[in-house]
Structure 1
Amino acid sequence: MTRLETKRLLLRPLQREDAEIVEEYASDYEIAKTTLNIPHPYPKGSALDYIDSVLAAAKNGRQHVFAITEKNSGSLLGTIALGIAEEHSRGELAYWVGKPHWGKGYGTEAARRLMQYGFETLQLRKIFAASFTDNPGSWRIMEKIGLKYEGTLKQHVSRLGNHHDLAYYGLLKEDYKG
C-alpha cells in the first residue's frame, strides 16, 4: 500500500478505523456543500461503506485515495484522491479537509504531493481538477500547486437543490516543474 510523505503530512490508505472521524467531518454541511459527492445529511454508518468501496476500487489501480493525516499526531484531517483514466493517461484530483483544519495549508501540501506522485510515479500525461466557482478555498489550492485555469462550465451540476458552475484547472506533465 502506497504511503506518501510531506514535511507535515502522511498520506496513507484509508482504513476502516477512520470511519468515525470521516463521518464526523463529512456530516458537516460546510464540507458537504463544497463537494459533489458527499451526501447531506450524511447517512449514519455510511463512512464504512465509503471506505470499503475505496479499498475495493484501489485494487484495480484506477483510484488512489488517501487519508490526509498529520505526521506527528496521526490525526486524520481529510481525504485526497487521484482518479485515473488509463486510456487517456490522466488523473482527476479531488480532496476535502475537515473544517477544523481549514486555512492551515494542509490541502495545498497534500495536493502538491499527490500531483508529484501522479506525474513522477504514475507517469500521467495530465492532472486536472474541478471546483464549484463559489468555493475559492478549493480552486486556490489548484492555483497554488500550479494547475492552470482551463475554463468554466456554466450550471454544469446540480447540488443540494442548486445549479453550480464548475471551474476546471489542469496541468500537462511537460509543464510540471516538480
Structure 2
Amino acid sequence: MWLETNRLIIRSIQRGDEIIFSGMSQDGSLSQVGFDANCSEWINDWIEEALKLTNNDNPRENYIPCTVILKETEEVIGSVGSTYYEDVDKVGICYFIGTPFRKKGYMTEVINAYVQFFFKQYSESEIIATILDANTPSWKVAEKSGFKLIEKKMYKDIDDEKEELYRFYVIRGHEGK
C-alpha cells in the first residue's frame, strides 16, 4: 500500500518501523493506543504479527497498520490503519502520531486519504472510530475528517482495564470494491 498527500506518505508497515514506534511511546503519549512505555519488550512479536496481517489484507481479521512518513524529512511520524471490533462486528480506524508532530494538521490529512483508500480497497460500507471521551485531540481530528458522532457510552476496549466513557463515530462510504 502506498498513498501520497501533499505533505505525507502512507505506506504498508515494514520491519524497522516498530523501533521508531517504540521510541515514540517512551513519553507515554501512545499508551491509549496500546504502545506503552514498555512496548520495547513485546514490539518484536508485534511487528511479525503486523506484517502477517498486512500481507493477508483482510480488515475483518484483526488489524492492518500502515506507517505515516513526513515527505519533507522522510521521518516516520505515526500510523494509521484499520482494526476489527469483533464485539460490534465493525471495522474501525486506528491512528496515532508522535508528540512533536501534533497540532500541524497531519493526522487530518492522513485520515482523509486513508478513508478514501479504505472504501476503494475493501467491500465495507462504513468505518467506525472509538475514541476515549477524554482524548479530545483525537476526537476533534475524527470530526474534522468527516466522522459523525453516533453515541457516547461506557465501553471496555480490548486493552482497557475497566469500562470508560467512549465516543463512537462513523463515516460511510459510497463505493466499494
What residue in structure 1 maps to residue 72 of structure 2? 72
Deviates more, 1:72-81 or 1:155-164: 155-164
Q: 1:31 is matched with which residue? A: 30
Q: What stretches of structure 1 of length at least 5 have no aligned partner? A: none
Task: Write out aligned runs for 1:51-90 (5 A).
Answer: 51-62=47-58, 63-83=63-83
Q: Which residue of 1 aligns with 2:17?
A: 18
After the TM superposition, which of the residue ranges 96-105 and 19-28 deviates more from structure 2? 19-28
Q: Is the 8 A contact 1:90 1:124 kept in 2?
A: no
CA gap of 1:122–1:155, structure 2 versus 1, over 3 A, is closer
Q: Secondary structure at the match of 1:16?
A: coil
Which residue matches 2:122? 122
Percentage of identical aligned residues: 22
Query: Which position in structure 1 is the counterpart of 2:38?
Result: 42
- Report what 2:111 is aligned to: 111
What is the deviation of 1:109? 0.9
Query: Any stretches of 5+ residues in structure 2 without a counterpart?
Result: none
Change (3 A) 1:41 1:163: farther
1:7 matched to 2:13? The reply is no
Note the alpha carbon deviations across 1:19-47, whole angstroms, 9 max, x for none. Answer: 32111112321221x32x22x33243433
- Please state how far the C-alpha of 1:153 moved relative to its aligned partner: 1.8
TM-score by structure 1 length? 0.83
State whether residues 132 and 167 of structure 2, in contact with CA within 8 Å, keep that contact through their aligned partners in structure 1: yes
What per-residue deviation string (whole Å, max 9, x for no partner) do you get for residues 47-95 of structure 1? 332221110111221243211101122100011112368xx99531000
Aligned residues: 169
What TM-score does the superposition give when structure 2 sets the normalisation length?
0.83
Give the Cα–Cα distance (whole angstroms) in 2 for the partners of residues 49 and 138 of structure 1: 27
- How far off its partner does 1:155 sit? 5.0
